[in-house]
Amino acid sequence: MFDIKNPTITEKPDHAHYPACRGRLEAIEKNGFRLFKYTLVVSFWLAVISFLGNPVQVIGWIPILVCGSYDYLPLSGCCIQVILCIGLALMALLGCGKRKVLHFVLLMIYAAMFISCIVYRYTVFDIFTFIIGGMGVVFGYNAYADYFDYKQLSETEGFPMFSLILVEHEARKEEQKKFEEWYASRQHSNSTTDTQSPGPQAIPLTGINKAPVQQTVKNPNPTEGLGDMPEITVRRKLNSSAPEDIFKPRSGKASRIADSKLKFR
């Protein structure tokens, strides 16, 4: 057989081939399980036909050679044909695992059953064998490509898991790396701009929402006091409107309040 390579599942760096390989592997397993279910049903009905003593195309070739009868099989020939029908189901079951070549062989058997019924007929049951062979080709037509793709996948890094979690982790690491590079370049560009352009200058303010005022204070004698502070003369304001007898009781008698040191002028 020729060794055919599928470019879509070729091994790539940084686990980039994992998603495609995982999808193709799941498709191969799905196709194999579908062929197994069909073959299981077919094997049952072919075994029923075998118990009736009727030879089946392709499968009945060995019983016919052993018994030498083309129209009717004796008990030994029926038993041999039943065993071969069970062998078809077992072949389909093993093909669901690592032995994908068995599904390819099973496809060839279905194709031979379909063609042989056209060339030569044994009994009336050959019409059922013709339908079974044609449906088998329909269900197992991709067994040829599945065999070579599975062989290629088994030699590819990451088989049989092809973990998508690892791919997502690598993708996050790559995105984080790109973000860090972008952030570092932006920080570098901002620092370069700040170095080239002068910063804002402080403006002295004398109050809120007021224009800056420049004031020069002359100090005639810096040795006396603070020197630069202006002298302020404060005069005491007398409250002449305060009543003089505010603390005098109505009875006219002397009290301690009258002798209080707190006086109002």
Q: Is residue 188 part of a domain?
A: no
Q: Which of 5-14, 150-159, 253-262 has the lowest mean pLDDT?
A: 253-262
Q: How far apart, in whole angstroms, are the C-alpha atoms of residue 94 and residue 196?
A: 75
Q: Is residue 10 part of a domain?
A: no
At 25, which amino acid appears? L
Over the Cα atoms of the chain, what is R_g? 53
Q: Is residue 256 part of a domain?
A: no
CB 35 within 8 A of CB 143: yes
Counted domains in the chain: 1
The model's pTM: 0.61
Q: Is residue 174 part of a domain?
A: no
Say which residues have a Cβ less than 8 Å from residue 243's Cβ, sequence separation at least 6.
Answer: 264
Residues 123-168 have pLDDT tens digits of 778 888 899 999 999 999 999 999 999 999 888 888 888 776 655 6
Q: Is residue 158 part of a domain?
A: yes
pLDDT tier at 173 (50, 70, 90 boundaries)? Answer: low
Q: Is residue 99 part of a domain?
A: yes
Angle at 148 between CA 147 and CA 150, to 5 degrees: 65
Q: Is residue 86 part of a domain?
A: yes
Specify the pLDDT at position 67.
83
Which residue range(s) make up the domain with 29? 15-166
